[in-house]
Structures are given as structure tokens and as C-alpha cells.
Structure 1
């Protein structure tokens, strides 16, 4: 094989590995925002963000509600207002679809449609759809791990729904 073919294959492999790391970062972010969360030992939301991260609600419903937060501390502080032990959700599950990830060297951008199914402590329940656009950079500690540098969310729609308590399953 020629050097140019090897270089091309190495570049394609780096891009595929970066896409996979971006997927893992988003999956962990969503899982850590679920209620109840299923975190692994030593996992934290803060570890998923770069030091210069920005998290922003955009559009008519989220710009005012969430605004713009800079840095892992303020971002995680805002997210924790919705997570246990704060009494907000009784259940909260995130689903991602319509994935599109582009990698260009040391920068990646991902786009998803997120469906969030939420039950609240006041017994209300809601389905929310949002458009996510997220920029990623390689971690300075481990270049195989990619971190969120800019996260934007825009609500597309919401709808009420009924949550029925779990019923035992007999076999």
C-alpha cells in the first residue's frame, strides 16, 4: 500500500473513532440526566464538559428558561436543579434520534432530535421534543475521549401524557 492510501485510511479511522467517542459522551450525558440515573462509579456530568464549555437554551421557549451558562460548574449546577435529590422528576428518560455527526480534525459537531419523557412530582407528565446541536473537542487528558464544548437545545414541541405506575408482570 502506498503512503497516501495508509494516510487516508488512518484519517478515516480517526474520524470513526471520534464519532464513536462523541456518541459515548452524549449517551453518558443523557443517562446521567435520566431519573433514576444509572451512573457508573466515578462518573459525573462535569467530566463530560471541556473547561470552556457553554450550555445554551435557544429559541422562544428555552432562551429565557435556561439562558446561557459558561463553564462546567455553572452548567452542572443548573442541571442538578432538576436531578435528585431535588424533588422535580419522578421519572425522566431521554431518547436520541436523527443523529448526524461531522468530524473535522480536532472538532466535531453532532445534531440530534431528543425526545424526553418526564413524570413530575406533581403527578403531571409530559413528552418534549428538542433539537440538539453539540460541539465537541478531544479531551486534553485523553485524546480518545471527546468532551462537550458547546451544547444548544431548542424545544420543538411538548405534549401531556399519562404515566401509569409499574404493574407487576406475571409469567
Structure 2
């Protein structure tokens, strides 16, 4: 059986921590599908189509990684449609673990054949989140070290458009 995993997230913006998890996950699975999903509890910085394009450019170097966009369905439904038997999730802290454990338990209830796989964040990225980076960006702080190049380019383009 081909090992296919889905890595769902809002990726707004995609961080180096996300990219690290994707690169590590790509080594574990035959195919890794990055699902750019809508998070109803967060205000998006980028549009869905912008996020999709940015993530695709950021993972272009990984031949077994595919990127899809999805805003209407449960993660377990998307996983089933993609043929994924695994959900990949990254964990930065105990707080993340508690949150992810509850989601994994519900996902297991909804789809017993879907297994959640957790990767601990690499130490250099364990303190960053998209929310923290957006807060720093709102006050013109430099976050380039924590973002893949395609994200930095998209942010620069967005700033240029806002200034016009």
C-alpha cells in the first residue's frame, strides 16, 4: 500500500516551521499532500488563491509533495478523497499537543482508519507561529528568517500594492 499523508493547515503565512515539517514528512511518506484549508477562527492575511500559489512555489523542490486547496469540507473527508491514511501534524509545545490530541481523537471518531502522525518541531522553529509572525509584520518587524523565500516575495508584493 502506498503511504499517503495529508498535512492540513491554513498556512497564513507558510513559515519555515511548516516547510520543515513538510520536508521531513516528504521523507516519511510516499506522497505528502499539503492541504491549504480555511481556518474559520482566524483572519487571513493572504487570500486562498495567494496561499495556494505561495505554498506550491515553496514546495516545488519536493517531487512527492502535492498542494491542494480546500475550504468546504472536513479534513477527514478530504483525506479520504485523496486516498490518505495518515494526517501529518507538527507540534511545537505542550499547548499544541493538547490541541492536536483533541483534534486527533475527533478525527479518529469520524474516520477510524485515518492515523494522526505528529512531528515535533525542530528547535529553531519551535517558538514561531503564523499568528506571532503576523503580529510582528503588522508593526513592520523583520520576520524574513522565519519565512520561505516565496512568502517573503509575496509579502513584499502585497506591501507594494498597499502603498499604491
Q: TM-score, normalised by structure 1?
A: 0.28
Q: Find the structure with the greater CA-based Rg.
A: 1
Structure in which a larger fraction of residues adopt helix: 2
Higher relative contact order (CA 8 A, sep 6+): 2
